[in-house]
Amino acid sequence: MNEIRVIGDAEVAAVGLGAMPLSIEGRPDEGRAIATIHAALDAGVTLIDTADSYHWHAGEEGHNELLVARALAAYGGDVSGVLVATKGGRGRPGDGSWTVNGDPRHLRRAAKGSLKRLGVDAIGLYQLHKPDPAVPFAESVGALRDLLDEGDIRMAGISNVDEDQIREAYDVLGGRLASVQNRFSPAVRDSAPELRLCDELGVAFLPWSPLGGISRSALDAEGPAARTPFHDVARERGVSPQRVALAWHLSLSDRVVPIPGSTRPESIRDSAAAASLTLTEEELTILGGV
């Protein structure tokens, strides 16, 4: 299996880190959060996904971006090859809800804020977090195009989109669409058409919540109803079902770069190891495709 994937003009390790759980409800203390990011880097992870809206309480905008920036600054090794992907266009007022704002003026301000919090000259990958039904999609993507042209971001992506929106964004960006980040997992495969389109266009596909439907407790549960085929393959291989799930993701296309979330060093180390797990054709048949 190819352990290196390409996003735009950047090479990254095949498995990234979704940093959201380190800042939202039930988040770990900062010491463990930073230890988790450092464990990811130690394991060879070179893509970290964040967003300005990944926080818990009101007034914490950018909590996750600041956390990622502090972790990278405190890491003892070379981080020059780490791609930090962030997103704009959503908000959290502090009551547990999520809002959406795709106004181009807001997106430009949001990108400037992310740029400052991450402490970089240009954001490696900036993504529209979610289409805003109150704003023409082309206008929201146009803000990303302008940010690209002005050098504030190196690459542009979109998230939570359908096939038509992918094609529209590709056109608005003049073929410079680097990534699509949609929900996709063993349990939720309804973004399969979007994955196939990304493969056709040469665009990276970043599944969020890639471990959906895979429970650790089910591995040792009694009775077949408690387990999935992923647990059965994991039992035969002597690895975690999460590792099998991520290896399955990677088998679907060389454009796939899953970004599992983690709040513990041991979890992200296990996830990163999926890049070196090659599933057999028989196993892939059991797990199903898209």
| Active-site position among 54, 75, 126, 170 | 54
User: Would you state the structure tokens that stand for residue 48, as one six-digit string?
Assistant: 């970290």
Judge whether 54 counts as a catalytic residue.
yes
Strands 99-100 and 90-91: antiparallel
DSSP 200-214: HHT-EE--BSTTTT-
Q: Are 122 and 82 in contact (CB under 8 A)?
A: no
- From 274, 241, 201, select the one nearest 1 (Cα to Cα): 274
* Contact between 287 and 46 (Cβ < 8 Å): no
Distance, CA of 143 to CA of 240 (rounded, Å): 42
User: What's the angle, vertex CA 196, arms to CA 193 and CA 197, rounded to 5?
Assistant: 85
- b vs e for 135-166, b when ≥16 Cβ sit within 10 Å of the residue's Cβ? bebeebbbbbbebbeeebbbbbbbbbbeeebb
Round the CA-based radius of gyration of the chain to a whole number and report it.
Answer: 18
Q: How far apart are CA 87 and CA 108, in angstroms?
A: 11
**Known catalytic residues?**
54
